[in-house]
């Protein structure tokens, strides 16, 4: 294969650098997002509900530093230019701009429920997915590719521009928590590759979903053994005796009461978890 002349290589590199500079200038001087009053009201309600849920998770098992509260004007990094590659509406970007987040700035991958990790649109994990191609264009993260198959969430996924991705499993693409910004409806979506389709667990509102997730914690169906490891009590690989001991420790330390001692409880449970892996 003949080599590309040095002059063409240099010209290509200069053109790529120029495009990057233009894109960065646009990102630092973003256009205003156009969002109607009803969407702003819905956004504020969703953000407040998620913040309350995340604060509950901090009280139960997450470290304090994991919670990111948005500034009043929204996250400066999140704007129309930087997020244009996602091909979302201004309403979705505006929602991302004002949401609270569970930090994904390191490799900890804090869980919000079962395997689900809340997507941190301000975090290093997300930003690392923004890669430049040789032409200086932004490539979307792999986990935001449109799902194949006929969606069973009634026709909502036919136009993904309106769909906000709130959470998913990062190491696979087998669970999403999606919100339709047109009306605030929410669903957990589970792509099924073998059937080329998706299954869904639909909720009317984000609060309904939050209430169901909190119920899973309250009744100890979901067991946080570390901030990054949540076990489903009925299907965990831990011995039954260990599961029973973990549940008893949660009750002993006041699980889901004002007397709950997170530090002492999680320390004791971590010992059981570590001992299991040392066997």
Q: What is the mean pLDDT of residues 95-116?
A: 88
Among 252, 247, 249, 254, residue whose Cα is nearest residue 232? 247
- The band of 5, judged by pLDDT with boundaries at 50, 70 and 90, is low
Query: What are 131's strand-pairing partners?
Result: 139
127-154 tens-digit pLDDT: 655 533 334 444 433 333 334 443 445 4
- The band of 189, judged by pLDDT with boundaries at 50, 70 and 90, is confident
Compute the distance between CA of residue 93 and CA of residue 82 in angstroms, rounded to an integer. Answer: 10
Q: Is the pTM of this model over 0.85?
A: no
CB atoms under 10 Å from CB of 94, counted, come to 22
Which residues does 190 contact at the CB level (< 8 Å), separation at least 6?
174, 175, 176, 198, 199, 200, 201
Compute the distance between CA of residue 186 and CA of residue 167 in angstroms, rounded to an integer. Answer: 11
pLDDT over 90 percentage in the chain: 49
**Structure tokens, 36:** 């109607």
Give me the chain's average pLDDT, please.
81
52-96 tens-digit pLDDT: 999 999 999 999 999 999 999 999 989 998 888 888 999 999 999
The DSSP H or E segment spanning 249 is helix 240-252
């Amino acid at each position: 294969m003949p080599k590309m002349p040095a002059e063409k290589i240099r010209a290509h590199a200069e053109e790529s650098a120029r495009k990057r500079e233009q894109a960065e200038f646009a990102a630092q001087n973003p256009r205003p997002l156009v969002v109607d009053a009803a969407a702003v009201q819905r956004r504020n309600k969703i953000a407040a509900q998620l913040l309350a849920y995340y604060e509950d998770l901090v009280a139960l098992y997450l470290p304090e530093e994991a919670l990111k509260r948005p500034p009043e004007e929204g996250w400066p990094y999140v704007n129309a230019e930087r997020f244009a590659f996602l091909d979302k509406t201004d309403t979705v970007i505006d929602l991302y701009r004002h949401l609270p987040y569970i930090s994904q700035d390191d490799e900890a991958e804090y869980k919000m429920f079962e395997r689900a990790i809340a997507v941190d649109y301000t975090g290093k994990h997300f930003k690392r997915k923004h890669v430049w191609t040789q032409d200086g264009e932004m490539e979307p993260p792999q986990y935001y590719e449109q799902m194949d198959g006929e969606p069973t969430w009634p026709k909502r996924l036919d136009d993904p521009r309106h769909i906000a991705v709130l959470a998913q499993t990062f190491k696979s693409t087998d669970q999403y928590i999606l919100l339709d910004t047109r009306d605030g409806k929410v669903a957990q979506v589970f792509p099924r590759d073998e059937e080329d389709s998706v299954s869904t667990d639909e909720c009317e509102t984000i609060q309904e979903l939050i209430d169901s997730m909190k119920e899973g914690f309250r009744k100890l169906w979901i067991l946080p053994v570390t901030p990054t490891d949540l076990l489903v009590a009925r299907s965990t690989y831990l011995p039954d005796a260990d599961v029973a001991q973990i549940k008893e420790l949660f009750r002993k330390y006041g699980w889901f009461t004002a007397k709950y001692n997170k530090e002492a409880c999680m320390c004791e449970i971590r010992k059981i978890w570590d001992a299991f892996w040392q066997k």
